[in-house]
Amino acid sequence: MQWGGGLGLLGLLILVPVNVFLLGRPVAFWYPSPVTPEVFVLWDEAVGALLCSAAIRVGATQCRLSVARTVGSVIAGLLVAVSLVHDAVRGVLVIEYVILVYLLTVAAIPYRPWQALLLGGVITSLLAGIGLSGVLGAAGDGAELVGAGHLVRMGFVTVVFTGVSALLYVIRYRQYRARQEAEALHEQVARLERAKSRFFADLSHEFRTPLTLILGPLQDALEGRLGTVPDALRARLEGVEHQARRLKRLVDQLFDLARLDEGDVALAMQEHDLTALTREVVPPLRQWAEENGLTFQVDVAPDRLDVWMDADRIRQLLTTLLSSAIRYTPEDGTVRLRVRRTDGSAEIAVRDTGPGLPDALQKRVFGDADSYVPVGGEEG
C-alpha cells in the first residue's frame, strides 16, 4: 500500500507542474463559471494527494492484511468517485485515470480474486450510475459522458486483473503451504535433536554409575586395601582400570556432547599450568602410540606456562586430538605434540603422518579462524 500511494502521489506531483508550467493552462482551485475544460482545477488533485498520503500512512503502520484490503478499497473508491465527479462537471471523462487507480490498488494490495472482482464491479457500477442519472452540476448529460465503450473497457480490465489476482493468490497460497511445511519440518527436526540429546544424556548418566562402581573396588585392590595382590594379577587389574577410565572418558565426552547440543556447557575458567597438564596427559597416550608401532614426539616448553582455561576441557581436548592422531596414523608413523607460547597466547599443535581430514571437514571441525588461549590474563 505504501508504494502504491507513493506512486499515486508522485504522479500528482508531476501532473501539476506539467499542466501549469509546461502546458500553460490557467489554474483555479474550483470550477469557474462557465465551466471550461481548459482551466486546470486543483481541488480534485488536493483530495487525491490527501488520499494517497493516507494510503502511505496506513501502509507504514504495518496493519493486518484484512484492514489494509478494506482501507485500500475505500481509498480507491474515493479516488475514483472524485475523478468521476470532476470529469462529469467538466463534461470530459478520462477513463484511463480510473483504470490506473484500479490497477495500482490491485497491484499494491494482495487481494483475493473475489475482492478484486468486487472492487472492479463497484467502479463499473459508479460509471454506469453516472451514465444513467448524471451528476448534479455536470456540464452535460450523463449518457453522453459515459458510453458503452467506457463500461466495456472497465469490465474487460476488471476481468483481466481478477484473473491475474487469482494467479497471484494461487502462487501465494503455495508459498504459504511450503513455508508451513518447512516450519513443521524444522520443528520436527528440533524435537528429534532434543530427544537425541536427552537420550545421550540419560545413556551417559546410566553408564557413569556402573563405571564408578567398577573403578572404586579396582582402586581399592590396586592400593592394597583388600590385601596383597600378586604381580601378575596387578598387571591385569591395571589394564582393566586403564580401559575402564578410558571408557569413563568416552562417556563423559558423550555427556558433554549432549549438554553442548542443549547449549548448557559453561567453562570454569581458572589459571592453570598448561605445561604440567600436558605432561600429565601424555604418558598413557605415549604408551598406546608405542604399542601401535608409532613414534610419539613431545615438544613442551620447559618453564611454567600459566594459562586462563578450563583445565578439564583442555585435558579432554588434548586427549581427543592425540587419540585421533594415534588411531588413524599407520604403523611406523609419527605423532607430534607441540605446546608453546606465541605472542601472549598458548598454542597447542598436534601433527601426524596419517591421511588427515578433507578440506570440507576441516572447515566444519576447526572453522575458518585460528583459536588461541590467552596467557597470563592477556587477550590473544
pLDDT tens per residue, range 183-239: 999 999 888 887 877 777 777 777 777 888 888 888 888 888 878 878 888 888 888
Q: Which pLDDT value is given to residue 373?
A: 45
Q: Residue 371 above 60 pLDDT? A: no
Residue 375 DSSP code: B
CATH architecture for residues 185-261: Orthogonal Bundle (1.10)
185-261 and 270-374 agree in CATH topology? no
Q: What DSSP assignment string belongs to 16-69?
A: HHIIIIIS---EESS--SS--TTSEE-HHHHHHHHHHHHHHHHHHTT--HHHHH
Q: Where are the domains of the chain?
A: 2-146, 185-261, 270-374
How many angstroms separate the Cα of 345 from the Cα of each of 290, 293, 305, 312? 31, 34, 10, 19
Q: Quick one: pLDDT band at residue 181, thresholds 50, 70, 90? A: very high
pLDDT tens per residue, range 277-287: 888 888 888 88
270-374 CATH choice from 3.30.565.10, 3.20.20.140, 3.90.25.10, 3.30.420.40: 3.30.565.10
The set of residues, in sequence order, having a beta carbon less than 8 Å from that of 298 and lying 6+ positions away, is 278, 282, 286, 336, 337
**pTM score, whole prediction:** 0.43
